[in-house]
A and B are shown apart, each in its own frame.
Chain A
Amino acid sequence: DTGVSQDPRHKITKRGQNVTFRCDPISEHNRLYWYRQTLGQGPEFLTYFQNEAQLEKSRLLSDRFSAERPKGSFSTLEIQRTEQGDSAMYLCASSLITWAGGPQPQHFGDGTRLSIL
């Protein structure tokens, strides 16, 4: 399967610990997005990269959150000093943007579910 993969699928940690999630996009895709989703709500945009450049960050992305995409391929999302409110599903998506036309579909992974004890 060559879709977007996320690792781990589930993460349980104690409050105050740091966690890191990984996203492997579809190989030829140059854009990568991170979203957060809480129960009963739609995904909330966090940030996106074009190749290795982080082009936009939501106000939701506090100083405790950092995302990287060092070589323009996989990406990591780190949360430092986790809090109860960080419990959510973290979704990654990728797309291929060309200069020929409008937006291209985003392909989502199945997410990493984070539970803070």
Chain B
Amino acid sequence: DAKTTQPNSMESNEEEPVHLPCNHSTISGTDYIHWYRQLPSQGPEYVIHGLTSNVNNRMASLAIAEDRKSSTLILHRATLRDAAVYYCIRGANDMRFGAGTRLTVKP
């Protein structure tokens, strides 16, 4: 039970923003929201995480709904190298990955 829901796939055009949604309606008050991505033949790579407030780093932004039941990962300008499977995970030590969203970036 991954406890998060994401679309199976999304497409984006290169250099355009991408908004990847995630639902986590049963999230508890102490659960963080983590995002990782995985390129083919590689292990997952950390993207960003947050608890309540929106977060920004060099890779992406994380927008968390006020009720924390959903969040959105924002890639501000998609590049071809951003094509990957993106995983939204709630929890702490024992992260439960779902099947993620496969992002395709078109040139």
Contacts and interface: CB of A to CB of B under 8 A. Distances in A.
On whether the two chains bind one another, the answer is yes
Contacts of B43: 4, 91, 93, 108-111
B73 to A, nearest CB: 15
Contacts of B21: none
A5 to B, nearest CB: 11
A107 interface: yes
Interface string B46-81: 100101000000000000000000000000000000
Interface string A93-106: 10000000011011
A56 B93 contact: yes
Given A108-B45, A110-B41, A42 B98 contact: yes
A93 B87 CA distance: 16
Interface of A: 4, 31, 35, 40-45, 48, 55-56, 58, 91, 93, 102-103, 105-111
Q: Is the interface of A mostly helix, strand, loop or mixed?
A: loop
In this complex, the member of A35, A41, A48, A106 whose beta carbon has the largest number of chain B beta carbons within 10 angstroms is A106
A67 B2 CA distance: 23
Given A48-B94, A102-B51, 6 more contacts: A42-B100, A93-B43, A103-B32, A105-B49, A106-B44, A106-B95
